């Protein structure tokens, strides 16, 4: 049932091209420059969005915040659900609370959405598990169609959630008049390519395994990214922690000099999301700062970027894609890195200690 793979996690990582096809496939309308999500909700009636989720799903929500703000100019608040539910959020009838969940059973997420609903918000669930509790709590559901996820560490559900966030942002942008038809068409063409691009990334597994071999004895890892790649950094660090038990921290790269830079020495591998985009040059300076202090840099960079190879010890290339979609291809090598490191350390990849697939108690 693992389809010839040694672990569910690896099988699920390899299913990702197909999963993206499922999440996006029938919904893209290139001609019109729009997407069809089958939702009754009118994005023009939404004045603010609250993202509510936990763990990996929360990082997908953070990506959604960047995208919705960039493409639809709607203000988005983002919290982990365990904070949201107790912070007495300011909510009204023009608030859309979006809960994101693979299982649809995470108690904090369910309670967060109940809190928003109780205060008059409209609610949308971005969910994988059909008929789960969350789908019954929300006004409407956008299924991510990732198929059953068995590995405790979430991989394919994350990619599908990111794709769902991109779909939502395009729909909101079009409905609210902040995204032109041409710009949307450009994005949709790029989205259509994603399954194939992820396929290409998966071919890099031998190189990822080589990098894992080099660094798997490290005590700590630092992950850095900016803008849409900030959630990618968080997710990369979470995956590594969860299944290898190596301590990993993630920071928005620009925040590094406000503290974490003190950690950097020759023993600290620093994974930097350095794909091409508006903040590329800034990220290069962050890499230089790490190198100047002896840190080892593993860069995730855009195919064809020669410059980065001169700065970083190791480079994992991902295919070129619209900068707002880069997280969808960039997280894949980080999933593989966590996997390869965990296997080298002899960890139980599919059943990491202390973790449950769905957290139904507080
Ligand atoms: C990470 C992981 C957890 C879940 C979190 C939310 O690999 O599995 O962080 O993402 O518990 O779970 P769902 O999406 O089911 O609400």
Structure confidence by residue, pLDDT tens digits, 257-291: 999 999 999 999 999 999 999 999 999 999 999 99
User: What's the pLDDT score for residue 244?
Assistant: 97
User: What's the pLDDT score for residue 79?
Assistant: 94
For the cut 90, the answer to whether the pLDDT of residue 352 exceeds it is no
Contact 22, 160 (CB under 8 A): yes
For the cut 90, the answer to whether the pLDDT of residue 358 exceeds it is no
User: What's the pLDDT score for residue 248?
Assistant: 98
For the cut 90, the answer to whether the pLDDT of residue 357 exceeds it is no
pTM of the shown model: 0.98
Mean per-residue pLDDT, 44-51: 98
Structure confidence by residue, pLDDT tens digits, 210-237: 999 999 999 999 999 999 999 999 999 9
Structure confidence by residue, pLDDT tens digits, 283-315: 999 999 999 999 999 999 999 999 999 999 999
Indicate which atom in ligand 1 lies nearest the CA of residue 242: 7
Q: How close is the Cα of 276 to the center of ligand 1, in Å? A: 29
Indicate which atom in ligand 1 lies nearest the CA of residue 53: 16
What residue's CA is closest to ligand 1, atom 10? 56
User: What's the pLDDT score for residue 353?
Assistant: 83
User: What's the pLDDT score for residue 116?
Assistant: 98
Q: Which residue among 106, 110, 231 has the greatest number of ligand 1 atoms within 8 angstroms of its CB, and so is best to mutate? A: 106
User: What's the pLDDT score for residue 212?
Assistant: 98
Mean per-residue pLDDT, 38-64: 98
For the cut 90, the answer to whether the pLDDT of residue 361 exceeds it is no
Structure confidence by residue, pLDDT tens digits, 230-255: 999 999 999 999 999 999 999 999 99
Query: Two tokens at 95?
Result: 């608030």
Spatial distance between the Cα atoms of 196 and 78, rounded to a whole number of angstroms: 31
Share of the chain above pLDDT 90, in %: 94
Contact 211, 337 (CB under 8 A): yes
User: What's the pLDDT score for residue 41?
Assistant: 97
Q: Which residue among 7, 13, 51, 57 has the greatest number of ligand 1 atoms within 8 angstroms of its CB, and so is best to mutate? A: 57
For the cut 90, the answer to whether the pLDDT of residue 25 exceeds it is no
């Amino acid at each position: 049932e693992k389809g010839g793979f040694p672990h569910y996690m690896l099988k699920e990582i390899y299913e990702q091209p197909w999963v993206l096809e499922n999440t996006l496939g029938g919904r893209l309308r290139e001609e019109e420059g729009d997407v069809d999500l089958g939702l009754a909700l009118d994005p023009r009636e939404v004045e603010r969005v609250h993202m509510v989720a936990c763990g990996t799903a929360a990082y997908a929500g953070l990506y959604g915040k960047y995208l919705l703000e960039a493409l639809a100019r709607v203000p988005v608040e983002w919290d982990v659900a365990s904070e949201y539910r107790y912070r007495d959020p300011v909510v009204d009838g023009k608030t859309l609370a979006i809960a994101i969940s693979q299982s649809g059973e995470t108690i904090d997420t369910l309670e967060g959405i109940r809190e928003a609903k109780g205060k008059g918000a409209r609610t949308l669930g971005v969910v994988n598990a059909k008929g789960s509790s969350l789908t019954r709590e929300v006004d409407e559901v956008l299924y991510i169609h990732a198929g059953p996820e068995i590995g405790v560490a979430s991989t394919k559900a994350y990619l599908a959630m990111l794709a769902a966030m991109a779909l939502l942002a395009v729909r909101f942008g079009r409905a609210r008049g902040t995204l032109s038809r041409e710009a949307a068409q450009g994005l949709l063409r790029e989205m259509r390519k994603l399954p194939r691009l992820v396929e290409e990334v998966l071919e890099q597994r031998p190189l990822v395994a080589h990098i894992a071999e080099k660094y798997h004895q490290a005590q700590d890892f630092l992950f850095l990214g900016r803008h849409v790649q900030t959630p990618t950094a968080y997710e990369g660090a979470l995956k590594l922690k969860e299944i290898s038990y190596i301590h990993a921290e993630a920071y928005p790269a620009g925040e590094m000099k406000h503290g974490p830079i003190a950690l950097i020495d020759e023993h600290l591998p620093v994974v930097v999301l350095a794909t091409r985009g508006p903040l590329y040059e800034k990220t290069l300076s962050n890499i230089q700062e790490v190198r100047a202090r002896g840190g080892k840099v593993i860069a995730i960079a855009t195919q064809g970027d020669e410059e980065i190879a001169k700065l970083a010890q190791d480079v994992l290339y991902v295919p070129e894609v619209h900068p707002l979609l880069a997280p969808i291809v960039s997280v894949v090598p980080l999933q593989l890195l966590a996997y390869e490191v965990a296997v080298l350390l002899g960890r139980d990849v599919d059943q990491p200690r202390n973790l449950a697939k769905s957290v139904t108690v507080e």
